[in-house]
């Protein structure tokens, strides 16, 4: 089955044409609901009719899936029965994403929907954007609603810490893992299960799997499960490429992880859609929803809101715009007579403008919670749903209640009442009911707005370490080698009383402590035996003299060799920059220099370094790659230097707008035509540092007088963090790079980047990656 790239195209082969985009007109509520309901009914009818054509031994499980599909789509079949849009119903979503049923008032995204729709002609697409750019809403109210209206099946998933294949099966049957009759489903591979689903739908109907927030896949799942799903996905894309489409939404800073996802999944610009929002889209999103409630904005107020939200060069954020408009609408409805139909600039100013609304949004919502005791419990819940790295996470109602009893054993507050209030106020979303219900923050914006004290962060980090170790232990079948190491155990045990661990986690802690105690007992016994043997043997004294002499020589060697290696690693040209008060190394750090740090025991081995060592004669003088930001800072400190800040790097580099004008004798960039640069077999690669290229800082003929390969070759880590605080983007220069993952600016573009694409961003803070990224495109340059 081949899917056409756009509704106006003709289907080819025996495939199904994707229809449905033109069946939804934003602003036309009646026909939108009718189209969605008709599409949902078509899918159910197809699923029901197809079950009679499937083998007898498979029919029961197919009927179960059809039943589950009917339950899942039932609310969309009744979409036309939805009540009309009232004048007091807020059309803005604040922190919540737009759902399928909100497609009729999902304004400002027509261009993005058209572009992304055309990508559905290929089996796999990556939607990339900043947090808060509206990826979730675009997938649901944009794509999924139109797919459903065309009779295709959209499956929206957010796996987070769950295995994606299991999350897909749970979309049909939440209890498939334990429920009788689903044994075949539990045994199905990803490809096998989707084959069942496509048989239900029949020819002509596509299955489109929309995987949101896929960056969490890289944060939460162990490496083994990541590799397993990558292999499953590669097999599914290959075997079901004409029947199933995949769209993965991922944050910009984690997009580089897709390049190392699986060798069979190679992405180019054709498979990637970078979501960027314009002021014109923002203006439509402000004005049009208000008209549904017969309201209008004061002249120039929409443009003023957009200017305030994009001050200091910030990109326009749909999330921030939704928060501002939602707050203004609520204030207008609460404070104006019903015959007043104008949202005035005075109310915007009274709220403190866009900056004031964003800064105080969380506190204003919490203030609506009655009583200080309830507000304290609400702050506790929000904190528990935030990780130590300020990302949102899920917790069950039972886990939250158990933790609350530990933190506030004498509190009279009923946590269930607080959870319901937070859901009603749009701060939490919930899946399921009762004690097993999963709660989660509505948006990452909240996680960045919550302040955690050092003790709470340490307690949460201990809990996260325990959860990771417990997951690995379960996967290893409770094997002895999967017990918690001594160093990690020392970070977890001080907080056990405040963690409320599960029974199997307590068992893991007990066994790990027993093993550590046994190792310590064995170590003490060994030392005692050695001491007894020393006292009993007079001859051992003479042996000790020899051992001491040999040890002294060995000590001198061990002590002197790192100094020699350090001296050699630091012996590179430094170029003073008087205006900054620093001196830049003329060249990027080479494999040879970094290898000396590894030999000295002061640096971790980069990813792929064994391959480099095998070709040492040709690659020793090439830039080192496969190092994360902490590795880069460790190397520079070893030789008495540090990483440059982003401001220092920008001050010595050519202006961004000049990068694409740099010739081959100045910058090592990809000069191949079109998208060939992204072909993994493209004839592009690194060369030794400098390699005869001209200086990019000074034009002196003196090879030691210039700075080379700032732009091109490999990107270079800085020690500047990109910070999202209260939804606003800022930067901070760091003296140390922490263990947990943060966003660090890396500058310079690289040898795989097409020359015509370099310098595409005009702000250094747009070039960033997570600090734990080990990429073949990022290297090191030190300053002193």
pLDDT digits (tens, 9 = 90+) for 339-370: 568 888 888 888 888 888 887 888 878 776 65
pLDDT confidence band for 10 (50 / 70 / 90): very low
Query: Regarding beta strands 153-157 and 207-211, do their DSSP bridges make them parallel or antiparallel, or are they unpaired?
Result: parallel
Find the mean pLDDT for residues 474-485.
Answer: 80
Task: Calculate mean pLDDT across residues 758-763.
Answer: 75
Helix axes 223-239, 190-201, angle to 10 degrees: 40
Residue with token string 């007091």: 88
The stretch 127-147 carries a mean pLDDT of 88
How far does Cα 359 stand from its chain's mean position? 24
| CA dist., res. 33 & res. 79, Å (int) | 5
664-674 per-position pLDDT tens digit:
888 999 888 86
pLDDT confidence tier of residue 559, bands split at 50, 70 and 90: low
Q: 711 in helix, strand or coil? A: coil
- Please give the pLDDT value at position 314: 73
pLDDT at 256 over 70: no
Better-predicted residue by pLDDT, 633 or 42: 633
Q: How far apart are CA 138 and CA 134, in angstroms?
A: 6
For the chain, the average pLDDT equals: 82
pLDDT digits (tens, 9 = 90+) for 171-209: 988 888 888 878 888 899 999 999 989 988 888 889 999
pLDDT of res. 9: 37
Q: Residue 373 has what pLDDT?
A: 78
Per-residue confidence band for 245, with pLDDT thresholds at 50, 70 and 90: very high
Measure Cα distances from 652 to 368, 708, 751 in Å: 51, 11, 20
Strand partners, 590: 623
pLDDT range class, residue 334, cuts 50, 70, 90:
confident
Residue 186, SS3?
helix
Quick one: average pLDDT of 630-643?
Answer: 94
Strands 743-747 and 715-725: antiparallel
**Residue 464 in this model has a pLDDT that exceeds 50:** yes
What are the φ and ψ backbone dihedral angles of 429, each rounded to 5 degrees? -120, 155
pLDDT at residue 744 above 90?
A: yes
The rounded percent of the chain whose pLDDT value lies above 90 is: 22
> How far is it, in rounded angstroms, from Cα 520 to Cα 526?
10
Is pLDDT of 238 > 50? yes
Among the ranges 86-95, 302-311, 385-394, 632-641, which has the highest mean pLDDT value? 632-641
Strand order in the sheet with 153-157: 153-157, 207-211, 244-251, 124-129, 272-274
User: Mapping DSSP to helix (H, G, I), strand (E, B) and coil, where does residue 695 land?
Assistant: coil
Report the C-alpha gap between 312 and 435 in whole angstroms.
Answer: 46
Residue 385 token pair: 């749903």
276-295: average pLDDT: 88
Q: How confident is the model at residue 585 (pLDDT cuts 50, 70, 90)?
A: very high
Q: For strands 778-779 and 715-725, give the pairing.
A: parallel
> Residue 728 pairs with which residues in a beta bridge?
725
pLDDT, tens digit (0-9, with 9 covering 90-100), for 564-576: 888 899 989 999 9
Whether residue 37 has pLDDT greater than 70: yes
Q: How confident is the model at residue 635 (pLDDT cuts 50, 70, 90)?
A: very high
**Highest mean pLDDT of the ranges 148-157, 253-262, 375-384, 465-474:** 148-157
In this prediction, residues 372-392 reach a mean pLDDT of 83
Range name among 80-94, 96-110, 384-398 with the lowest pLDDT average: 80-94
* Confidence at residue 434, expressed as pLDDT on a 0 to 100 scale: 80
Is the Cβ–Cβ distance between 706 and 586 less than 8 Å? yes
| Percent of the chain surpassing pLDDT 70 | 86
Structure tokens at 515: 């093993």
- 681-707 burial, b at 16+ Cβ within 10 Å, e below that, comes to eeebebbbbbeebebbbeeeeeeeebb
Reply yes or no on whether the pLDDT at 544 is more than 60: no
């Amino acid at each position: 089955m081949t899917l056409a790239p756009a509704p106006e195209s003709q289907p080819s082969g025996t495939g199904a044409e994707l229809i449905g985009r033109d069946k939804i007109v934003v602003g036309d509520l009646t026909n939108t609901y009718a189209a969605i309901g008709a599409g949902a009914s078509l899918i159910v009818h197809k699923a029901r009719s197809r079950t009679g054509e499937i083998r007898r031994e498979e029919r029961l499980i197919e009927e179960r899936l059809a039943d589950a599909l009917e339950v899942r789509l039932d609310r969309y079949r009744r979409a036309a029965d939805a009540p009309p849009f009232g004048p007091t119903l807020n059309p803005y979503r604040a922190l919540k994403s737009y759902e399928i049923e909100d497609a009729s008032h999902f304004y400002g995204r027509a261009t993005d929907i058209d572009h992304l729709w055309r990508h559905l002609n290929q089996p796999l697409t990556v939607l990339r954007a900043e947090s808060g750019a509206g990826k979730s809403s675009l997938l649901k109210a944009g794509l999924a609603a139109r797919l459903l209206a065309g009779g295709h099946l959209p499956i929206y998933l957010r796996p987070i810490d769950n295995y994606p294949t299991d999350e897909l099966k749970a979309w049909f049957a939440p209890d498939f893992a334990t429920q009788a009759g689903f044994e075949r489903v539990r045994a199905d591979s990803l490809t096998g299960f989707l084959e069942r689903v496509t048989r239900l739908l029949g020819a002509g109907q596509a299955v489109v799997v929309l995987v949101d927030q896929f960056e969490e896949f890289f944060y939460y799942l162990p490496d083994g499960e990541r590799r397993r799903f990558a292999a499953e996905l590669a097999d599914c894309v290959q075997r079901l490429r004409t029947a199933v489409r995949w769209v993965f939404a991922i944050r910009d800073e984690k997009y580089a992880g897709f390049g190392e996802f699986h060798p069979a999944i190679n992405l180019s610009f054709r498979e990637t859609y970078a979501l960027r929002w314009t002021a014109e889209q923002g203006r439509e999103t402000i004005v049009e929803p208000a008209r549904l409630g017969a309201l209008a904005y004061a002249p120039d107020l929409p443009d003023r809101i957009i200017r305030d939200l994009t001050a200091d060069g910030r990109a326009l954020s749909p999330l921030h715009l939704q928060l501002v408009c939602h707050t203004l609408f609520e204030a207008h409805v609460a404070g104006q007579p019903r015959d007043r139909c104008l949202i005035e600039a005075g109310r915007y100013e009274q709220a403190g403008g866009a900056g004031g609304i964003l800064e105080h949004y969380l506190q204003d919502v919490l203030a609506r919670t009655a009583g200080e005791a309830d507000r304290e419990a609400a702050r506790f819940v929000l904190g528990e749903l935030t990780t130590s790295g300020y990302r949102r996470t899920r917790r069950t109602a039972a886990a939250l209640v158990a933790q609350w009893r530990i933190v506030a054993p004498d509190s009279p507050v009923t946590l269930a009442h607080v959870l319901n209030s937070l859901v009603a106020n749009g701060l939490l979303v919930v899946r399921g009911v009762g004690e097993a219900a999963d709660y989660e923050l509505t948006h990452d914006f909240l996680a960045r707005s919550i302040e955690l004290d050092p003790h709470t962060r340490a307690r949460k980090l201990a809990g996260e370490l325990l959860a990771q170790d417990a997951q690995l232990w379960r996967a290893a079948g409770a094997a002895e080698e999967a017990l918690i190491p001594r160093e990690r155990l020392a970070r977890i045990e001080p907080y056990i009383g405040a963690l409320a661990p599960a029974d199997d986690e307590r068992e893991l802690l007990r066994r790990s402590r027993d093993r550590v105690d046994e190792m310590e007992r064995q170590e003490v016994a060994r030392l005692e035996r050695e001491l007894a043997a020393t006292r009993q043997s007079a001859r051992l004294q003479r042996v000790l003299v020899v051992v001491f002499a040999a040890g002294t020589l060995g000590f001198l060697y061990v002590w002197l060799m790192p100094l020699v290696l350090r001296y050699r690693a630091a012996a590179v040209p430094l170029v003073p920059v008087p205006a900054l008060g620093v001196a830049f190394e003329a060249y990027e750090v080479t494999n040879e220099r970094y290898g000396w740090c590894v030999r000295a025991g002061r640096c971790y081995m980069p990813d792929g370094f064994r391959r480099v060592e095998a070709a040492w004669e040709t690659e020793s003088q090439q830039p080192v790659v496969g190092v994360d930001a902490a590795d880069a800072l460790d190397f520079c400190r070893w030789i008495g230097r540090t990483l440059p800040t982003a401001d220092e790097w920008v001050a010595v580099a050519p202006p961004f707008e000049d990068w694409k004008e740099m010739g081959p004798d100045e910058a090592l960039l990809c000069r191949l035509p079109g998208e060939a640069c992204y072909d993994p077999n493209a004839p592009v690669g690194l060369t030794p540092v400098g390699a005869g290229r001209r200086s990019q800082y000074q034009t002196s003929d003196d090879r030691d007088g210039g700075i080379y390969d700032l732009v091109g070759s490999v990107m270079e880590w800085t020690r500047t963090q990109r910070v999202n605080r209260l939804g606003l983007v800022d930067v901070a220069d760091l003296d140390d790079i922490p263990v947990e993952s943060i966003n660090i600016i890396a500058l310079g573009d690289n040898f795989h980047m097409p020359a015509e694409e370099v310098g595409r961003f005009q702000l250094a803070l747009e070039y960033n990656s997570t600090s734990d990224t080990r990429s073949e495109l990022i290297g090191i340059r030190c300053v002193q």
